[in-house]
C-alpha cells in the first residue's frame, strides 16, 4: 500500500504527506466495502442463516497470536518490534543506505549533487516503513481484536509520529518514548473509567506534547538575541 505514495514521490515529486493521508481514506472505504460486503460474517441460528454485524468472522485459533500470561503483549509482536528496532538502528547508522537516507532527508539538493540515487532511497525507505506499519496492523487484528471491523484502528499510526519526534528520530531513544507513551495510553484508559473523562482529553494531551516538541525545534535551531 505504501508503494503507491512511494512511486508518486520518487517519480513525480508528489508530497508524501498528502498522498499517504489520502490513501488512508481509500483504505478505509475499501475496508468498509469488504466488511459490509463479501467478507461480512454470516450468523446462524438453527437452520436460519443471515448477515450479521458489519465484521468478518472470528479468526481461527491457528491465525491468532498468543499473549504473555497476565498481559496483552504477544510473544511474536514483541520479538518483531525489538528486532525491527535493532534493524532500523543498524540500517540508519551502520550502512551506506542509512547515510544516503539522512542526506536525502536533510538536503535534497546536496544529495542530488553527491550523485545519490534519490528515487531508490525514497522507494526503499517508504516500502520499509509501510511494511512495518502493516506488521503493526497484523498485531492489532490477529492479536487483540481477532476479526476485522470498521473503525478497528485506534490511531496508533498518528501516535507513532509523536513518539518518533519525542525520541529525536533515534531508534533506540524511540524505545524509551514508546514506554512513556504506552503509560499515557494505559493511564488514559484508567482515567476515563475512574473519572468519566472523555477520550478527547487524552488525545488533546498527546497533541499538546507534539506542539511542545515542534516548538522546541525552533528554539534548538534558532537563538533569540536582544538588542539594546
- Cell numbers standing for residue 139: 498485531
The Cα-based distances of 176 to 26, 166, 180, 183, 223 in angstroms read 33, 9, 6, 11, 28
Above 70 in pLDDT, residue 49?
Answer: no
pLDDT at 127: 93
Read off the pTM. Answer: 0.79
Distance CA 101, CA 169 (A): 13
pLDDT in tens, 113-126: 999 999 999 999 99
pLDDT digits (tens, 9 = 90+) for 179-222: 888 887 777 777 777 777 776 776 777 778 778 877 777 777 76
Distance separating alpha carbons of residues 193 and 38, to the nearest angstrom:
36
Domain ranges across the chain: 154-220
Q: 89-113 as b/e, with b when 16 or more CB fall inside 10 Å?
A: bebbeeeeebebbebbeeeeeebee
Q: How many CB atoms lie within 10 A of CB 74?
A: 19
Q: How many CB atoms lie within 10 A of CB 206?
A: 18
- What is the four-CA torsion angle of 159, 162, 164, 168, rounded to 10 degrees? -170
Amino acid at each position: 500500500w505504501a508503494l503507491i505514495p512511494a512511486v508518486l514521490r520518487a517519480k513525480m515529486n508528489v508530497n508524501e504527506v498528502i498522498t499517504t493521508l489520502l490513501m488512508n481514506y481509500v483504505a478505509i472505504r475499501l475496508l468498509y466495502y469488504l466488511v459490509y460486503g463479501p467478507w461480512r460474517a454470516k450468523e446462524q441460528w438453527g437452520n436460519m442463516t443471515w448477515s450479521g454485524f458489519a465484521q468478518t468472522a472470528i479468526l481461527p485459533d491457528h491465525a491468532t497470536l498468543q499473549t504473555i500470561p497476565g498481559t496483552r503483549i504477544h510473544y511474536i509482536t514483541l520479538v518483531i518490534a525489538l528486532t525491527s528496532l535493532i534493524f532500523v538502528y543498524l540500517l540508519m547508522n551502520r550502512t551506506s543506505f542509512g547515510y544516503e537516507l539522512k542526506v536525502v532527508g536533510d538536503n535534497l539538493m546536496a544529495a542530488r549533487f553527491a550523485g545519490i540515487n534519490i528515487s531508490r532511497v525514497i522507494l526503499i525507505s517508504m516500502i520499509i516503513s509501510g511494511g512495518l506499519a502493516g506488521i503493526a496492523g497484523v498485531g492489532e487484528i490477529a492479536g487483540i481484536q481477532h476479526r476485522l471491523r470498521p473503525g478497528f484502528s485506534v490511531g496508533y499510526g498518528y501516535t507513532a509520529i509523536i513518539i518518533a519526534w519525542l525520541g529525536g528520530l533515534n531508534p533506540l531513544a524511540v524505545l524509551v518514548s514508546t514506554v512513556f507513551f504506552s503509560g499515557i495510553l494505559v493511564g488514559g484508559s484508567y482515567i476515563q473509567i475512574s473519572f468519566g473523562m472523555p477520550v478527547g482529553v487524552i488525545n488533546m494531551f498527546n497533541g499538546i506534547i507534539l506542539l511542545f516538541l515542534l516548538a522546541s525545534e525552533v528554539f534548538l535551531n534558532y537563538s533569540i538575541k536582544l538588542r539594546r
